[in-house]
Structure 1
Amino acid sequence: MNGLHLTADLRGCRCDLDWLTNAERLLAACVQRVQASGLQAVAHLGHRFPDTPQGPGGVTATVLLAESHLCVHTWPESRSVSLDVYVCNFGADHSARAQQLMDALLALFEPGEVLQRSVERGAAPAA
């Protein structure tokens, strides 16, 4: 289960509001960026949440990868997004592809502020 787990919390996204509210459009963009990064999509699902008094509902877009997953959650009322890219490195190291996918998503949302984390998963603990 060795792998790389990348997360990013985005604030102040300057992208078109449609990227934060249109599940179908966002999911299609995610699948395209997965393919462009050299990862393999095996299934995908998008969901739009209902509007609230604070504004339009956000979306969740999930792409199951042969290598693991991509998940995007949006909060249009605060122009915020959370990104989650996880690749297991069974058989090959997919870390560079995961980073390429993360970079493409960051460019899509045009955040004003980004908090990124990277976790090596499954590594044996130091003795």
Structure 2
Amino acid sequence: MEGLHLTADLRGVDAALPPMRDVDALATLCRGAVAEAGLTGVAELFHRFSSDDPQSGITGVVLLAESHVAVHTWPELGGVTLDVYVCNYGADNSAKAEALMTALVAAFAPASVARQSLSRAAA
């Protein structure tokens, strides 16, 4: 169960960016970033927080053959949280995880970023 778990809390994100409120735009961004990083998406789900409010945020997850990426947007707060986890069982996917996180952070162009990194290792 060795792997790398990365998280980032983004602040000062422009609420007008399409991935902040548009489910299809966020899904496209995530799919593209996963592919560019050389990871393998196997399933996905994207959901608007409020089906009655097209301006509400989105939560989305892409299940990876290597583990997962999750994104949550709060346009009303200019915030985004990102979660990238990759297993390193068959190969060291750490550089791919870092590339995926870097691409997602860049796409949201936040004013500030708080990043965390956790190396997970077998007991």
State the Cα deviation string for residues 51-97 of structure 1 (Å, max 9, x = none): 789x9210011100000000000000011000000001011000000
- Unpaired runs of 5+ residues, structure 2, are none
* TM-score (norm. length: structure 2): 0.93
Write the distance in 1 (CA, Å) between the matches of 2:50 and 2:15: 21
Kindly state the Cα deviation for residue 23 of structure 1 after the two structures are TM-superposed: 1.2
Percent identity, aligned pairs only, is 52
Kindly state the Cα deviation for residue 31 of structure 1 after the two structures are TM-superposed: 0.7
- Corresponding residue number in structure 2 for 1:73: 72
Write the distance in 2 (CA, Å) between the matches of 1:16 and 1:29: 15
- Corresponding residue number in structure 2 for 1:49: 49
- Corresponding residue number in structure 2 for 1:107: 106
Kindly state the Cα deviation for residue 40 of structure 1 after the two structures are TM-superposed: 0.3
Write the distance in 2 (CA, Å) between the matches of 1:110 and 1:15: 11
Residue 33 (structure 1) aligned with residue 33 (structure 2)? yes
Number of residue pairs matched by the alignment: 123
- Corresponding residue number in structure 1 for 2:115: 116
Which protein shows a greater Rg? 1
Please list every run of at least 4 consecutive aligned residues from structure 1 whose deviation after the TM superposition is greater than 6 angstroms: none
